[in-house]
A = this chain, B = another copy of it.
Amino acid sequence: MKAKIAPWIFTASCPSIIGTVDVVTRYMAEAGNYIDEIHSFDDRESGLFFIRIEFLPQHDDFSDAVFSEHFADRAAEFDMEWQLTAPNHSPKVAIMVSKYDHCLNDLLYRFRTGQLNIDVTVIISNHPDLEELAKWHGIPYYHLPITAETKLEQEAQVRALIEQYDTELVVLARYMQVLSPSMCEYLDGRAINIHHSLLPGFKGARPYHQAWEKGVKMVGATAHYVNNDLDEGPIISQGIQTVNHAHYAEDLIAKGQDIERVTLFNAVKCHVEKRVFLNGKRTVVFGG
């Protein structure tokens, strides 16, 4: 079986008008970029066009800068926002946690083994508990406690760390704090949170207890972008697990952990592979 050559990834979105595909694919052909895979989609409700292309440059002098120079004007005609991502680009990721370690452990495992193409540069927590796990992976761990009174101050420290580590993506891996509106705005579109329910069911606190009360036969998890509306950010992925009458709330919590970590992993993977596009309050996810 042939080895895979990692492709460049081109992604773009703009208003839906005729020619949006052609402006991209024609340039690719002219520039000698071999297209391996395309997904495009026009959302007829939002009137927006989305495209993701994996391609292999055929010329040795290919560069991000040359692509930009040649393509920028063409894109501008279509009011197109676009992005080029280098093969195997590993974005710098900050992970925020509290005491639960199942999501952190999973992300670090996949980071360490190369299953997830990220560069975890810093772990930030409001508790000291998970420091040893971070240490074993050789990642700096910051313990920034928080109280109602110190919330804004702590968030300022968090921001400083996010800046300091040139963070491209923040992952809230069961960080059990409600973010302030200004923090939400700061993270808008570049932070992924895992919520332990199938949103919009069971928003807010203790969703597994809520689920037990209702006697549901399935529990789930939702990974979504952080925005300024708590538990209402655009959904990237969801997962479920069947349960039954013999599962008490503590069992739902345990069973849910497997779903949470897989759902969060899927969302982060799709994000890193540039498969996710914001589309108003919704997302487009290609080949997720």
State the A residues within 8 Å of B (CB).
Answer: 1-2, 4, 18-22, 25-26, 28-29, 32, 34-45, 51, 58, 101-102, 105, 109, 113, 115, 136, 198-202, 209, 212-218, 220, 234-238, 240, 244-246, 248-250, 254, 257-258, 262, 279, 281-285, 287-288
Contact = CB atoms under 8 A, between A and B. Distances in A.
28 contacts: A2-B44, A4-B44, A18-B34, A19-B29, A20-B35, A21-B25, A21-B35, A21-B38, A22-B25, A22-B26, A22-B28, A26-B29, A35-B40, A37-B42, A38-B51, A39-B39, A41-B245, A115-B254, A115-B257, A199-B216, A200-B201, A200-B202, A201-B202, A214-B235, A215-B235, A215-B279, A215-B281, A217-B237
Nearest to A2: B44
Contacts of A101: 113
Contacts of A22: 25-26, 28-29
A29 B18 contact: yes
B217 A200 contact: no
A287 B245 contact: no
Contacts of A217: 235-238, 285
Contacts of A32: 18
Nearest to A25: B25
Contact of A40 (B37, B257, B262, B281): B37
A248 B50 CA distance: 16
Contacts of A20: 35
A244 B285 contact: yes
A198 B198 contact: yes
Nearest to A197: B201
Nearest to A288: B244
A271 to B, nearest CB: 14
A245 B282 contact: yes
Contacts of A36: 41-42, 44
Given A21-B28, A29-B18, A216 B238 contact: yes
A238 to B, nearest CB: 4
A245 to B, nearest CB: 4
A198 B200 contact: no
B215 A248 contact: no
A228 to B, nearest CB: 16
A287 B246 CA distance: 9
Q: Top 4 closest A-B pairs, CB basis? A: A215-B282, A201-B201, A22-B29, A38-B40
A30 to B, nearest CB: 8
